[in-house]
Amino acid sequence: MADRFRVTLAQSNPTVGDIAGNAGLARSIWQQGRDAGADMVALPEMFITGYNAQDLVLKPSFHNAAMAAVTRLAADCADGPTLGIGGPWAEDGKLYNAYFILRGGEITSKVLKNHLPNETVFDEVRIFDAGPLGGPYSVGDTRIGSPICEDAWYEDVSETLSETGAEFLLIPNGSPYDREKLSVRQNIMVARVIETGLPLIYLNMVGGQDDQVFDGGSFALNPGGALAVQLPLFEDTVAHVDLHRGSEGWRVEDGPKAKIPDLLEQDYHAMVLGLRDYLRKSGFGKVLLGLSGGIDSAIVATIAADAIGADNVRCVMLPSDYTSESSLQDAKDVAENLGCAYDFVPIKEAQTAITGTLAPLFAGVQPDLTEENIQSRLRGLLLMALSNKFGEMLLTTGNKSEVAVGYATIYGDMAGGYNPIKDLYKTRVFEICRWRNNQHRGWMMAAAGAVIPERVITKAPSAELRPDQKDSDSLPDYPVLDGILEMLVDKDASVSECVAAGFAEAEVKQVQHLLYLSEYKRFQSAPGTRLSKKAFWLDRRYPIVNRWRDGG
């Protein structure tokens, strides 16, 4: 019997729908494993189709093409190590989330996912059928158990594999990022190794897909829960992990142990990777955004420059009569600090033309929010014109606090194809700005240093749509607003629970009213990087028309 076993782990980044491209990536990684003397090359869950492909997987022509690609891949990878790859499998009128074991030119085994997640961003119960509990598969004389992602969160699958002869567990995953997710994964996997007494290798996908970012962070544990290998978060990595067999069975040899960054860095890296992949996978190489001189557009410009390079980011200042000189200077400073192109496009002339056109219809009616929103919508029109003309994706810049309460103009400053900070509360925007000013990493493409001027961070937030306007004129101060929103949105708290936590009842009810009233805006808003388990889109699905108000 062999006493050593090498697994090449592909913490890699497939593209949803690019079956041929994903198969080509799989072949390239398999060749790396073959060159390294691997016994098995393992890729993540649903790798051949990309993940999370949602209802696309239900389309027969799509899942049939994916299955055919796996069959071809088996033939292409006949002479070398076993290859494990995830994909859909249709049989007898049912569709499964499967993990294929390819060896000697054939699909030698299929593992079918049993526990289908039906929470947060996942709707697998409506897409896939549940597979039966199965046993391990063989690679040479070694028997391996592969619970697929969610299957490893329940003890029955791993226990069944252990009882039917598995010698170690290799778990393929498509597990998206949210804060503290890594520690949750590791705690659950420690429970599995303690229950089974088997070593465990947890392989996770990396890369952005729509709002989700798969954060990698793959790891290996030995019986008892000792960490043997830790791969980096958010980085595309191919690693060779070795196991040896002794008197007590298989053990994972100590390997690289990447440092796990703090949560601010994890959030920032997720936003950079999410935007980078959204652009790359949708075919855009350049972006533009309205740079107002405020903190939100400053951090979005920084994220964009870090994601694709400052040369590919256009910043546009669109001043009105209410734009302060300090805002003009702050916007210019941010663009210059980053090294981005900077355009100056005043909107006064266009605003005069629009208000003049509407004057006969508005005669006898006092100016109000309508005139403020005209300014925002003019900016959206001009930015979209630039986007159309130059093929640059427009980024929108509303933070989660504003998105929650509708403090944004639909078809105005909400216009755009992607919003990197959509799941970042305003108070956390301040923290992220200070963090980025003091930190720089190799995966950041923009300049190091304090790229966001201190005045941008410390000045009172304002939309500058009327004289002396401040956000606090319309909303509670952001620490209060965010505290209420974290309870109402992230914790599903009631009004009375918010009041018991120390918030004023009138402010809680105001925020609740704005939250529900703004659902129609969020329904039409751009996607953005998911950072929490209560991001606006798939995590939290509320009716647009809704008269419910929690009275206390």
**pLDDT given at position 275:** 98
Q: What is the pTM of this model?
A: 0.95
Q: Which residues contact 172 (CB under 8 A, 6 or more apart)?
A: 42, 43, 44, 45, 47, 84, 86, 99, 146, 148, 149, 203
Mean pLDDT computed over every residue of the chain: 95
Instruction: Determine what percent of the chain is predicted with pLDDT higher than 90.
Output: 90
Tell me the β-bridge partners of 219. 202, 230
pLDDT of 294-317, one tens digit each?
999 999 999 999 999 999 999 999
pLDDT more than 70, % of the chain = 99
Q: What is the C-alpha separation between 66 and 191, in angstroms, rounded?
A: 34
Please tell me which residue in 59, 94, 110, 113 is annotated as part of the active site: 113
The yes-or-no answer on residue 113 being catalytic is: yes
User: Is the pLDDT at 47 greater than 60, yes or no?
Assistant: yes
Q: How far apart are CA 23 and CA 526, in angstroms?
A: 30
β-strand pairing of 168-173 with 94-103: unpaired
Angle at 110 between CA 104 and CA 114, to 5 degrees: 165
Told to judge if 426 belongs to the known catalytic residues of this protein, a careful annotator would answer: no
Mean pLDDT of 249-264: 96
pLDDT of residue 349: 93
H/E stretch holding 181 reads: helix 181-196
Instruction: Express each pLDDT in 272-293 by its tens digit.
Output: 999 999 999 999 999 999 999 9
Interatomic CA distance for residues 192 and 221, integer angstroms: 10
- Check pLDDT > 70 for residue 1: no
Region 228-257 average pLDDT:
96
Rounded Cα gap, residues 53 and 69, in angstroms? 16
470: DSSP letter: -
Strands 237-246 and 4-11: antiparallel
464: confidence class by pLDDT, cuts 50, 70, 90: low
Does 159 have pLDDT greater than 70?
yes
pLDDT band at 467 (very low <50, low <70, confident <90, very high): confident
List residues bridging with 540 in a β-sheet. 536
In b/e form, how buried is each residue of 494-530, taking b as 16+ CB within 10 angstroms? bbebbbeeebeeebbbbbbebbbebbebbeebbbbbb
Cβ–Cβ under 8 Å, residues 242 and 500: no
Residue 551 CB: number of other CB atoms within 10 A? 9
Structure tokens at 509: 């009810």
Rounded-to-integer distance, Cα 178 and Cα 87, Å: 24
Of 323 and 259, the structure prediction assigns the larger pLDDT to: 259
**Overall average pLDDT of the 30-59 stretch:** 97
Tell me whether residue 431 is one of the annotated catalytic residues. Answer: no
For the cut 60, the answer to whether the pLDDT of residue 552 exceeds it is no
C-alpha closest to that of 420 among 338, 518, 535, 281: 535
**Is it the case that residue 342 has pLDDT exceeding 90?**
yes
CA 355 from centre of chain = 41
Mean pLDDT of 113-125: 91
Which residue in 287, 395, 286, 280 sits closest to 15, CA to CA?
280
Q: Which secondary structure element, helix H or strand E, spans residue 314, and what is its range?
A: strand 313-317
Q: Assess whether pLDDT exceeds 80 at residue 319.
A: yes
Which among 45, 150, 167, 486 is annotated as catalytic?
Answer: 45
Can you say whether residue 328 is alpha, beta or left, with left for phi > 0 and alpha for psi between -120 and 50 degrees? alpha
CA distance 470 to 456: 14
Mean pLDDT across the stretch 449-475? 82
Single out the catalytic residue among 77, 149, 340, 498. 149
131, 103 Cβ separation under 8 angstroms: no
User: Of 42-51, 396-405, 543-552, which range is least confident?
Assistant: 543-552
Q: How large is the average pLDDT for residues 468-478?
A: 80
pLDDT at 156 over 70: yes
* pLDDT tens per residue, range 498-545: 999 999 999 999 999 999 999 999 999 999 999 999 999 988 989 999
Which domains are delineated in the chain?
A: 4-254 (3.60.110.10), 264-463 (3.40.50.620)
